[in-house]
Amino acid sequence: MEKRRIGALSVSLVGLGCNNFGIRLDQTRTTEVVQAALDAGIDFFDTADIYGGTHSEEFLGRALAGKRERAIIATKFGLPLDDKRQGASPAYVRRAVEDSLRRLGTDRIDLYQLHRPDPTVPIADTLGALDDLVRQGKVREIGASNFSVAQIREAEGAVRSGAARFVSIQNEYSLLERSVEADVLPECAARSIAFLPYFPLASGLLTGKYRPGQAAPEGTRLTEPNSQLRDRFLKDAQIAQAQRLAEFAAKRGHSLLDLAFSWLAARPEVRSVIAGATSATQIEANVRASTWHLDADDLGEVDRIATS
């Protein structure tokens, strides 16, 4: 498995998103998926306090019992757990990290990420609290998610000399959602900030399960009752675009999933392609997908298809 850098961390190019833990997977199946990931060479596990109503962290911690040294754990804070547990105030940062450490059953978090900007708290205050955690050894590196270029620049300008800075930005990015290419990706490159794409498979649309003119398969994320993503991703134009990309991959002996992973991996700013999995089979497919190295001609043709 190829490794890339996020600050001082060395992480697997393929990461495991843990948002299924505690929702679609119970503890037993979570442990099976985590073990399959470790066996496949994946060491980067990305979760959040809000995933599974806090159960994702708990399940991940139990699954890694006795194997903590083999894992790089990333988690997030800031989205509302309830009326009192939310945001990025220094007091809440201190509370949130202790809660996550307890749920994860560990003494340190490798990458601690602010899940979204908090406009009610000066970013300098949040960074100061996070720097304290780094100095205390409770956190190794810090990152942010859902930040604009303006917010990245504000955070960079607020860092005290010698203090911890955001070493990663985790925003949405995929073959079908490329808005970060206009500004966030170049900003990350210029500042040597790692980029972590979420929704790399467009919430499943880039797995090849959805075909034009066919009913969406049952049991997938986009067909779940009350899915907030259905209207966004399951549009005829996007399904047709995904089909054209699948045909491009098939002509080269690969799947659409292979293309989605390898295309992201071709960007040097991208340090790990984080995708969820509910089985060892999906883990194996994700790892295999990352081994296709697209050349310049391939990338040019993909760009033509993806933007047409």
Strands 3-6 and 9-12: antiparallel
- State pTM to two decimals: 0.92
Structure token pair of residue 27: 């503890």
273: which strand partners? 14
Summarised one tens digit per residue, pLDDT across range 186-242 is: 999 999 999 999 999 998 899 887 676 566 666 566 556 566 665 666 677 888 889
156: part of which helix (H) or strand (E)? Answer: helix 149-158
Of 51, 112, 173, 198, catalytic:
51
Using CA atoms, how far apart are residues 26 and 264, in angstroms rounded to an integer?
30
Structural domains present in the chain: 3-207+256-295 (3.20.20.100)
- Residue 186 Ramachandran class (φ > 0 left, ψ -120 to 50 alpha, else beta): alpha
Summarised one tens digit per residue, pLDDT across range 41-100 is: 999 999 999 999 999 999 999 999 999 999 999 999 999 999 999 999 999 999 999 999
Give yes or no: 51 in active site.
yes
Average confidence (pLDDT) over 135-155: 98
The backbone torsions φ and ψ at residue 191, rounded to the nearest 5 degrees and listed phi first, read -105, 10
Q: How many angstroms separate the most distant Cα atoms in the chain?
A: 57
Contact criterion met (CB below 8 Å) for 30 and 59: yes
What's the pLDDT score for residue 231?
Answer: 64
What's the pLDDT score for residue 213?
Answer: 59
Residue with tokens 């998103």: 17
